[in-house]
Structures are given as structure tokens and as C-alpha cells.
A and B are shown apart, each in its own frame.
Chain A
Amino acid sequence: MPLLSLPTGTKFSFMKYWRLGFALSTLLSVLSIVLFFAVGLNYGIDFKGGTLVEIQTKDGPANIAELRREIGELNLGDVQIQEFGAPDDVLIRVERQPGGDDAQQRAIQLLRDMFGDRVNFRRVEIVGPRVSSELARAGVIAVVAALLAIMIYIWFRFEWHFALGAVITTAHDVLITIGMFAVVGLEFNLTSIAAVLTIVGYSLNDTVVVYDRLRENLRRYKKMPLAQLIDQSINEMLSRTLMTSITTLIALIALFVFGGEVIRSFTFAMIWGVLIGTYSSIFVAAPLLIMFKLRPDAGSAAGEASTAGAS
């Protein structure tokens, strides 16, 4: 027999607070949009162009201040230098050099000449202006295309209320994730797009599961008022929602802690996405159906009376 049991038969009335959740989500979404335009994202070289170098010093911990001074003398414009996972590991980001693709190559040559044999180059990434603008466009297209394709699929499988609700919920998750990127200043690069798309997948997974149960209950309790029906469906799925979020979070936290510095920001975004996705499938996806008037409010009292026997 199981040693732990998840809460079952819960009777939380989530929909009592749907307006609160809605207000919170709207606020966060608007805030994210404002942040996106006012603060902007910390775009990585994938989208902005430039050079990223990870070095490992050969003689003990790196002296970041000294490095900053030395690299400053190379006149490479804006350069970010940070410790990366270990004291002898340093990440150097050099902004895109004015000029074409050749100019980027000159920057890395200067760095290589400066370091000589003092360090190991663990990683060098150089993205020229042409490729970075292409990647940025491809990234936007991918996210939009994913949302559209998923909407079409859900449209086939559910009524339009659900399709629209799922897409709005997912867009909400994407927005708030982008807002998080802006607030934390986490680097936004190609892997971040991968994270965003995975969040899209995860969040939809959650939303679809809740919708699926809702649809089933809509057929079973023909007269039950929508808010109550939603509450019941969410409560029925609550232990599943919790369990899946927990196991996914366990896997992600393992990655975050042990997976190495290179994918840490990716994992961080994913953890955030799982939390947001779980929240939104309850507090955004479901109440949207109330807004769309999936089931007319009329006759709610009579409905309640008749469902008492059915459940």
C-alpha cells in the first residue's frame, strides 16, 4: 500500500476566486508586456550577434577585476565578464562589433592573442549580424507557429471555447515567462526559445487534462452551473496535477542542481514555466470558459438540485 496519499476528494472552490486570479494574471501579463518594451530582454548572442567565450584559467581562481581591466584595453565595446560555475571558469560576452561578420572574427582573435597560453578555451561562440537576425526571426515564427498549430489541434478535438481558452492560457504563460526573463535579467537565447516552447507544451498538457475532465463532466452533469462544474473537475484532477508537477519539478531541480552551468538558465526557465503552467490551467484556462459563456448561467439553481443525485 502507498505510504503517502495525495489529497483526494477535495472541495476547494477555486472559482469563487476566479476574478482574483484573473485580475492577477491580467496584471502580470500587462506588467510583462510593459517590462518587455521598457526594460527589454537580456538577449544573448544568438539574437544580438557577438561573441561568447568560456575560459578556464590554468593557475588557480580567475581574477575577474584584473580580467576586466585587461579586456577593457582591447576596446571591444560592452563586455560582460562573470564567474561561471567554478572559480577558475569565466564567461566573457563581447557585444557585436560594428562592421560585418569579419569584425566579429577580429574580436575573438584579439582575445586569443591576449590570453595566449594562459587559459583553456572551453567554448567559443560567435554569431554574426546576419545569422543573429535570422535566428531571431525564426524564433518568433516558431513560437507563433506552435501556438497556431496547437490551437488547430485543440479546435479539432474540442469546441472553439476550449481552443481559444487554451491558446489564451498558453499565451499568458509565454508572456509571464518573458516577463520573468526581463525581471531576472536572465539571458534570452536559442535555448530560451526551446524552454518557452517546452513550457508551451507543458502548460497545454495541463490545460488539456483539465479541459478533458471538464468536457466529460459537462456531458455527465447536464444542468450543473459552470462554476461549480469547473470546481468539481479541478478538484477531481487536483491530485494528478500536483503529482505531475512534483515529479516534473523533481527532474528539473535535479537538472538545475547537477546539470551544469551551461543549461542552468534553461532549467530555471522551465521550473518557472511548470509553476506558471500549473497555476494557469486552474486559474486562467478554466475561468476563461466562464467568460466565454460555455454554458449559459440561466437555471443554475434548478441545475444544482438535479445534480445532487447524479454525483
Chain B
Amino acid sequence: MLYFARWKIVLIVGAVILGILAVLPNLFPKSSVENWPSWLPHRQIVLGLDLQGGAYLLYQVDRQDYEQKRLTALVGDIRTALREDPRIGYTGLGVADNGAQVRIRDTAQFEDAQERLADLVNPLQSTLFGQGTVNEFEMTTGEGGLIRFTFTEDGLAQRIRSIVQQSIEVIRRRIDELGTTEPSIQREGEDRILVEAPGLDDPQRLKALVGQTAQLTFHLVDNSVDPRQAIEQRPPPGTTVLYSLDDPPQPYVVEEAPLLNGEDLTDAQATFNQQTNEPVVTFRLSTGGARKFGNVTSNNVGRPFAIVLDNEVISAPVIREPILGGSGQISGNFTVQTANDLAILLRAGALPAKLEIVEERTVGPGLGQDSIEAGKIAAVAAVIGVTLSMILVYGLFGVFANIALVANVILILALLSLLQATLTLPGIAGIVLTMGMAVDANVLIYERIREEAKSGRSAITAIDTGFSRALGTILDANITTLIAAVILFQLGSGPVRGFAVTLAIGIVTTVFSAFLFTRLLVAQWVRMKRPSAIPL
């Protein structure tokens, strides 16, 4: 146990030196590390959101909202299909029990109707592994001419998947415009999206930008009815009542079918209105959109139209002259920032479905800095306490153990840097805890050596057998903790996972530093001193 081949010594010492090199970048500011020669390591420890501040936002697709919207659209398609020439008489068309249904009046036309509606099951492109196609809906028939459409499980799952995919792209476009450093946007499970934005001062703005559906539509305002009357009674068919963002909200009766929507936009910019000098958003329309808008505005000069964002009226300007150029301006009590944000949202496009925040954790930069400071002080205090007690109890061997402890901490930090594992506050706690527990391996070895010496072995044999006999115990004890750490990693999210990582890394480096590094130190000492008694 006390003999080391030369190559082993090189490996062990080499590992520690490599560890020191890998830790080095953490001691310098990032900007200076970037200019280092390429043979030096550059990777710094990644700090978790709880340490550097930032936002962790977990979104989930609002399935119910999506299903309702999709079914409403389907009802529209059913209506169109049945009204085609020759018309098929129907009744009771609408959304019910999480499906769309309709009753065909004339039983003679029942078959015809089924045939005509058959296409609405909407075959979706086959999935990666799927054989053939998956229908989005299943069509069933019932008594009394009933035809019902319900979501198929596979179809819905596929739809949700593509919604998540599209949403991620939209969110990425939006966040990129914010200029935040290294945001991460990824799918979580089936219908969730995790947005992590480190080092962000204002999570509120991020939330506003990410979470908004941003469905922009233009509607003609119906001036023939008084809005209040429309609320009390019923708005005329084909119109609906929307409210403005003002305080108190102003009701508008608008035509249900939009003139234009966000997809007709090719560009949007925040600027200032040259006359009033207030912030506005200018937009440019696609060729098709420009033609449509030109037609509508030509025919409706003098009428107001409503600019609607997510069912809220931003403003309702009156059409003074036909707008043929394909560009326009949205005004509406904006500040520079809200105008800017609206422009970002319009450029990035609308989310395909409503997203809900199911988990949010944001940490301000101040708290993160405080946590790092507290962690450092605790680590230093722990090192002092542990090393002092080791020297008190084991003397020279305690010094060996302490050197190994320092090597251990360096190796933990080195591995964290190299693996780019995230260091969190519980992770720092994990490191400090490891300092306390790491010496256990040394304690086991030293106590064993003492016993062996007491039972009459010579100093060198005692040291030798002490190391070899303690190994099994050390392994057993550490593997059990390692199992706990691995399971913790599987379960954990964010900070807890950070704790599991440092705990697991700590166990590996502990076994290395206690069993190889300390042994090497002791072996060299034995070689030089040839001790006849053990200083324990």
C-alpha cells in the first residue's frame, strides 16, 4: 500500500495540478480570462440563478383554452361546409362536452352531411415513428342526426407538441430582442416550456414579453349600435363587444371577423409621432395585407376601426382617407418601453396558444451576491474549524489530511468548472458539508492505523494495513451516500439538483484525495523518515 510506481505518482500529482489549473479561471474576471492563451483552461463555474440572480419561469400550454378555441374554429368550418350549395339543414351546432356537434334536420341528408364533414377530421402529418397519419378529430354519429367531433388522443398530443415547438421559437425571437445574456428556453415534458434568464434585473418585463399571446387583429367598429345597449341586450349578429385598456375600460362594438391579423404584418418599429411627439408603433403590411387593408379603408372612410391585442382594444382611430401604402401607426398611451415591447411582440409573432405560468422563481441580483458572500464566509469558517481540529487530534497526520482536504476542495471546484455543472446555494452547502464529511475517510484510516499499531505491528506495517483495511469501509460508506445523491439529482430541479451534483462530485473527489492523495503524502513521508513509531 505504501509503494507507488512512478507513473502512479505522476498521475496523482498530475490530477491535482490539472485541478488547480482548471480552478484558475474562476479567480479572474471573465473578460480577462477570454484573452488567455488557448492552452489554458477557460471554463468558469456556472452559477445558478439563485446565486447570480435571474428568472426561472415554467410555462404550460393552456390545453383547455386551446381546445375551446380549436373547437370554436371547427364549429365555423362545420357551418361553412353545411351551408355550401346544396345547403344541408342543421340545428344545435355548437361546442358541447369537449367536442363540436351538430344535428342534421333531414334524416335523408344525414349520409350526405357525413360525407361532406368527413374531411374535417383533419389528418395530421404522421409523426416520426407513426405509421400513416393521425386524425386530429374523431367523427361519431348518434341518434337523431347527431354528428359529433372529438379530439383523438394522438392528434391532440401531436398538436400540443407542435404548439410547444412553435411557442419556443416565438419566445426565443422575443427574448433575443431583449438582449438578455444567454437565456435558455427548452421544452419540459409534454406541454411545458422552461425559460431561464440569468442576471436579469426586471423579471416583470420578461414575464410580460414571454407570456403575452400577442394576437393582433384589426376590426371595423360598428357605430350603428350604442355599446351600452349592446351589452345590456345582445350585440347584433356577427359583432361582439370588446373593451379598451383605458381606466375605466371603454366598450366597443366591433365586427367579429378581423380585417387583418398579426400574420399580415411584416415589420413593426417603435418610433415617435411627429406631430404629438408621443411614442407610437409603426407597422408595415405584407403585399396581400396591404391590398386588403387598402380595399377596406377605401370603402369605410369616416368609420373607426379597432386595433385589438389579445381581445383588448388598444385604440380605435377613425379612417380619414384610404390607407394604400401598406403601412400605418398604432398609438395608444404608450411609454417608450411599452411601445418598444409591443413592437417586439408584433415582430416576433403571436403565440399559437395561451401559456400559463405554473412555476416562477426569481432572485434579485442583490440576494444572489449576498448568498455568495455568505457561502464564502461559511466555507472559510468550516475549513478553519475542520483543519484545526484535525491538527489537534492527529498532529502531523492531521496536516496530511488537511493538505488532502484542500486538494479535495480544489478538485470539486475543478470538476464543477470542467463539467459546467451549475453551482447553487445548496450546492455551496454541499461543498461545505463535504469538507466536514471528507475527513471521515482520513479519520477511518488513522484510527485503523492506531489500532494496528496498538496490536503490536511495526509502524510501517501498521500504516500499510491501516490503509488497506480502511478501504472497504470507506467505499461502502461513500457509495451509499452516492446513491442518495444520484437519486436526489433525478428528483431535483434547480437548487436541489445543484446540491446533488456537488455532493456526488464531492464523494468521488473525497475517495480520491483520502485514499490516493493522502496515502501518497504518507508514503513519501515514510520513505524519507523511516519512522519507528507512529505520531498518532
Contact = CB atoms under 8 A, between A and B. Distances in A.
Interface of A: 1-6, 8-9, 54, 56, 100-102, 104-105, 108, 112, 120-128, 130-131, 135, 138-139, 141-142, 145-146, 149-150, 153-154, 157, 190-191, 193-194, 197-198, 200-202, 204-205, 208-209, 212-213, 236-237, 239-240, 243-244, 246-255, 257-260, 262-263, 266-267, 270
Nearest to B365: A122
Given A142-B488, A201-B480, A236-B451, A2 B436 contact: no
Contact of A124 (B362, B378, B398, B481): B362
Given A101-B358, A247-B386, A251-B433, A201 B485 contact: yes
14 contacts: A1-B395, A4-B392, A9-B454, A125-B360, A128-B359, A142-B490, A150-B480, A154-B480, A190-B493, A205-B437, A205-B477, A247-B439, A250-B386, A251-B385
Contacts of B363: 122-123
Given A9-B454, A124-B361, A190-B496, 4 more contacts: A121-B362, A194-B492, A259-B375, A260-B374
B366 interface: yes
Contact of B484 (A201, A212, A259): A201
A153 B485 contact: no
Interface residues of B, number: 76
Given A251-B386, A258-B381, A208 B473 contact: yes
Contacts of B118: none
B473 A209 contact: yes
Contacts of A138: 491
B357 interface: yes
Contacts of A270: 433
B241 interface: no
Given A191-B496, A240-B443, A254 B378 contact: yes
Given A250-B386, A266-B429, A146 B483 contact: yes
B199 interface: no
Nearest to A51: B360
Given A54-B367, A251-B385, A258 B377 contact: yes
B422 interface: no
Contacts of B323: none
Contacts of B439: 243-244, 247
A209 B477 contact: yes
Nearest to B207: A105
B437 A150 contact: no
Contacts, number: 239
B227 interface: no
B435 interface: yes
Nearest to A240: B447
Interface string B34-65: 00000000000000001000000010100000
Nearest to A199: B484
Contacts of A101: 60, 356-358
Nearest to A157: B476
A120 B374 CA distance: 20
Contacts of B361: 123-126
Nearest to B450: A8
A1 B534 CA distance: 9
Given A123-B364, A248-B433, A190 B492 contact: yes
Interface in B489-506: 490-493, 495-496, 499-500, 503
A130 B403 CA distance: 48
Contact of B480 (A153, A194, A266): A153
Interface of B: 50, 58, 60, 203-204, 356-364, 366-367, 370-371, 374-375, 377-379, 381-382, 385-386, 389-395, 398, 425-426, 428-429, 432-433, 435-437, 439-440, 443-444, 447, 450-451, 454, 472-473, 476-481, 483-485, 487-488, 490-493, 495-496, 499-500, 503, 535-536
B235 to A, nearest CB: 26
Contacts of A194: 426, 488, 492, 496, 499-500
B432 A200 contact: no
A279 B135 CA distance: 63
Nearest to A5: B393
Residues of A contacting B: mostly? helix
B425 A251 contact: no
A138 B495 CA distance: 15
B193 to A, nearest CB: 13
B477 A247 contact: no
A260 B379 CA distance: 12
Contact of A150 (B360, B390, B425, B484): B484
A252 B479 contact: no
Contacts of B382: 250-251, 254-255
Contact of A251 (B360, B435, B478, B495): B435
Given A2-B536, A194-B492, A240-B444, A56 B483 contact: no
Contact of B433 (A1, A204, A255): A255
A197 B489 CA distance: 11
Given A126-B357, A131-B358, A205-B440, A120 B366 contact: yes
Contacts of B391: 3
Given A248-B436, A249-B436, A254-B385, A153 B394 contact: no
A102 to B, nearest CB: 6
A108 B357 CA distance: 12
A204 B481 contact: yes
